[in-house]
Copies of this chain bind each other. A is one copy, B any other.
Amino acid sequence: MKNAIILFSGGIDSTTCLEIAKEQGFACYALSFAYGQKHTVEVERAKKIASLAGVVEHRVLNLPIGEYGGSSLTDASITVPDHQDVSGIPNTYVPARNTIFLSFALSWGEVVCAYDIFIGANCIDYSQYPDCRPDYLQAFETLANLATKVGREENQGFKVHAPLLHLNKAEIIREGNRLGIDYGQTISCYRADQNGHACGTCDSCTYRKKGFAEAGMPDPTPYFTR
């Protein structure tokens, strides 16, 4: 049984990724980050979901990304906006976040001999984020094998798996349904409150709602009233 690192926020995408990795026969090491995100409740929810999913280990690392701000997700002086249909990278972009997350996946992966890294990146709904695109993930895999002892000295390299890359949210939800996932536990909202209630209007809520609607599934998300 091969080991895999699953970047795991406790949202729809990473929860689906985790179940896909399990179905493919990997022993799963879930990796979450408390990085100063305003919606810290996602970390608590990630612990619950990872535990129920029976991962080998779930590690939550504290990262100082919020200390220097620069994103509406981490910076008190920048407001998380409601969804708008505009092009360009939104202010919820956290500078180099996936590169930092993937670097820690490499680092921990090398220690626990997990050379398969799963990331729930998706370039359909979230195509704005530069670090969710196919060319980026390919470049990271190349880097990973130059960066590490495993990549340089051993006859096996790191592989970055992004099984949701070309699926839209409805397709992801259908796939999760097939895998028996209860999405009621997952949190996607950028403004989720401490009870895990969602705003319903940020980018993340918007894509999530649309996904359940298009998949023809009831939306299990609890929303708060503003």
Interface residues of A (CB under 8 A from B): 59, 61-65, 67-70, 88-89, 93-100, 103-104, 106-112, 130-131, 133, 135-136, 139-140, 142-144, 146-149, 151-153
- Give the dominant DSSP class at A's interface: helix
User: Assuming A64-B63, A140-B143, A147-B136, is B98 touching A100 (CB within 8 A)?
Assistant: no
A103 in complex: contacting residue of B99, B112, B130, B148, CB < 8 Å? B99
Separation of A131 and B65 alpha carbons in the complex (Å): 22
A96 in complex: contacting residue of B131, B136, B148, CB < 8 Å? B148
Residues of B within 8 A of A89 (CB): 149, 152-153
B143 touches A139 (CB 8 A): yes
Pairs of residues from A and B, 7 with the lowest C-beta to C-beta distance, nearest first: A70-B111, A96-B107, A95-B110, A96-B106, A136-B146, A99-B103, A95-B107
User: Assuming A95-B106, A97-B107, A107-B100, is B143 touching A130 (CB within 8 A)?
Assistant: no
A130 touches B149 (CB 8 A): yes
A59 smallest CB distance to B (angstroms)? 7
B88 touches A147 (CB 8 A): no
